[in-house]
A = this chain, B = another copy of it.
Amino acid sequence: MDLTPFSTRQRILGAAEELFARHGFAGASLRQVTASAKVNLAAVNYHFGSKENLIEEVFRRRLDELNARRTELLAQCRDRADLGLEDVLDAFVRPALELSLSDAGGAAFVRVLARAYAEHDERLRRFLSDNYGHVLKEFAAVFARLLPQLDKEELYWRLDIVSGALTYAMADFGVLKRRSDVSEQEHRERTASHLIRFAAAGLRAA
């Protein structure tokens, strides 16, 4: 009987995701990762080449899907005649919300994403910018159309603030604790909804 139907590769990625979320990239060792994944220590370097590459693969596995979904929802926005700020914000936030609800690893990954910002690592930033920067550009263009009163610089300031608030809130970094009478799913959906209303008001500010 095989209790571990997932491949060695997948089990490593899953364990790395959770441990990186909890202890950071430097703080989580490959020994912890491989022990948690119940695979041999050498498997990481066999399948990924190095810890650095493993980190990149942890991002790639989730971001490919996340950004495809964002692009898809944004395309739906473009067709709408009565498009509101809230719709575009939803197209950006909802995929992250869905990811965080999909499974335990998805929730962990949202925290990993937030850690990536804090790390300020140049290689990691370039990797993210090279692979997923175009999606952010597409969103910025749609926001620009909806907020014609803002000049380009002002718009970029505000989008930067929005992405910060979003990253922070979805990663559950705040001090706000989930009430015990609210399910994890309900809690996250409320977070997203509050976030969108707050961000829309901030973007519209005089």
Instruction: Please give the residue numbers on chain A whose beta carbons come within 8 Å of chain B beta carbons, in ascending order.
Output: 22-27, 111, 114-115, 117-120, 129, 136, 154, 156-158, 160-161, 163-165, 167-169, 171, 173-176, 190-191, 194-195, 197-206
Is B176 within 8 A of A169, CB to CB? no
If A24-B26, A198-B202 are given as contacts, then 10 extra A-B residue pairs at C-beta distance below 8 Å, sorted by A number, are A117-B118, A117-B168, A118-B171, A157-B176, A157-B190, A157-B191, A157-B194, A161-B165, A164-B168, A200-B205
Q: How far is the CA of A26 from the CA of B25 in the complex (A)?
A: 9
Which residue of the partner chain B has the closest CB to A167? B168
- A199 CB contact (under 8 Å) in B129, B202, B204: B202
- Give the copy number: 2
Is B158 within 8 A of A164, CB to CB? no
12 contacts between A and B (CB under 8 A): A24-B27, A25-B27, A26-B26, A117-B118, A136-B175, A160-B174, A161-B195, A164-B169, A164-B173, A164-B174, A200-B205, A201-B204
Q: How far is the CA of A117 from the CA of B206 in the complex (A)?
A: 31
Q: How far is the CA of A75 from the CA of B69 in the complex (A)?
A: 48
Q: CB-CB < 8 A to A199: which residues of B?
A: 202
Q: CB-CB < 8 A to A197: which residues of B?
A: 205-206
